[in-house]
Structure 1
Amino acid sequence: MAADTVTDVFEEHRPVLMGVAYRMLGRVADAEDVVQDAWLRWSQADRSDVREPRAYMVRITTHLALDRLRRAQTRREAYVGPWLPEPLVTDFGPTVPDTAERAVLADSVSLAVLVVLESLSPLERAVFVLREAFGLPFSDIAETLDRGEAAVRRLGARARKHVEERRPRFDADPAQQRDLTERFLAAASEGDLDGLMDLLAHDVRLVGDSGGKAKAPLRVIESADKVGRFLDGATRQGVADGMRFRFVEFNGGPGLLASRRGEPDSAFQLGVVDGKIQYVYIVRNPDKLRSLFSAAEQMP
């Protein structure tokens, strides 16, 4: 296989490999590292017996992601404050219209689902990602993981049950979520505490991820009163300090990117249930905002 062909084949499947790695790890930088390692393995491998390059590369990527995930779990036990996935700017493009297929893709990278996946074992997470996000047959997943098909089916059933029981039931209508996000931003930035409180569910939860490297709550904040007052104070202070906001689609839904002096400061996303904000996710760990630099630089 010629060098240009080797590269072309890999680049054709890079989006799938990145999708597998990100869903496995919840970090854009880690996923990019895994895909780069997969490229090295692919480019140096004996490919004479490879009949299905996509399956071969997915297998390499999955094993690399599993190794990194096992190492990362030890680090996350010492993580300061709540942990959230790294925001991923998502644009499924014109080839994936606003259909059930798009909804599946968006759901599989949502912050809520990725948070729940953190509580699965590495193997359960791998089976769930390959089955639910990419629709691979259990026989193919078993071959990828070097496990028996019956064992893989049990892992998949256990993982699916766990995710279904624990993930929040958010409304999937992006138009409603965008509208609420716009109203949320207007009320918060204008100091309209009453208007902000009207948008929040009575048992709303705010989860902030700073990793101890920025100011953010070290515990989950609960109740409309506490969340509303925290957001009112934090947003007003940010606006006073020159913070700018831009709507960005990340992790399959509308969100807000806050920036200062052209650099990303915070990423917000809301979880909506029955027309009310049930969750507020805020990522402030600067290590998790690096992939949003280009979006921040485009702000007026």
Structure 2
Amino acid sequence: MDEDDPLLGMVHLPLYEIFKERSQVTGTWPLAGGIGHGKVRLSMVWRSVQLQAPRNLLGWDFGTVEVKPLITGHGLPGELYGSKLKLRSNLSSGKMYASKNENSWQPKSEEESVLLAVQKRYSTCVSIAFKHNRVFGDDVVAFSVLWLKDVPDEEELELELPVWKGDFKRACSNCLEAPGEKIGTLRVKLTYWAGLGMAHSAWANKDQNLRDIVEVINTAQENQDLDKIERKIGIVDAEQSSDTDSSDGERDIPDGSANQEQGPIDQIRDYKRREKTLHRRHRGLMQWKIPRTAKWVKNKVEGLEKKVSGAFDRTTGQAGIETEV
């Protein structure tokens, strides 16, 4: 069959609710978010582990760093305030630009945070590079480095990060106390969100297995958000949410538009809003075989391109890791 394997369904298990009253649970949960039907019977046991370690060492290897929209500088040379900031993790990057407010930077969209996907968190840093715009490339004139081993999960922090002049590649490859000459500080608000998320999508698309994992996570998030909305407006009771039939039937988001007549523009907007959910369930455009086959061909071609381009990748230019014996 010349099409991608469809998602039959997933079972969302909120452990904080399941083990709220008992450490051993047996129950039945419905499939959700795919083209399949049915329920799954599961038995689960929670066993606690006594572990004494700093909170920042009990985190997840995969996560997303959310950098709040405004970064302010203190004690920096005047020419740096007109530079752009490039924020980078080991998986993604983002930019901030000089703000109208003095001594600060913000993204193009003033209300949106910069989201940086992370893997191997305990050997990874987030770098903030000051760059001057030039015709041929842009040089790193100063930088700041934050190692994520020092950041706890899901706690908003306001940090004073030193700004350095020195070897930028060396500072990003080695955890050094003083990677150069200190010339000022940056005040940054950020949060490390544990687990895979939407920021990992571009990275996960390079691998089919990771793509499937992210799809399941997004499905779980959609169903969790929908359950919260339905409980809030009284469509379902909290106790009944795990005993309902599988949610493979049409499940409209309760925004007041499900049973109302819509014009063509409203219908297009509604379809765009639910496009991924509909396609995952082989509805909308994907209810026909031709679009599904076209998507399969596109993924095959992209996979072949990545294999060919990967054969010519070189890593000899990376900065070496300094070690001691």
TM-score w.r.t. length of structure 1: 0.23
Q: Which has the higher strand share?
A: 2
TM-score, length of structure 2 as denominator length: 0.22
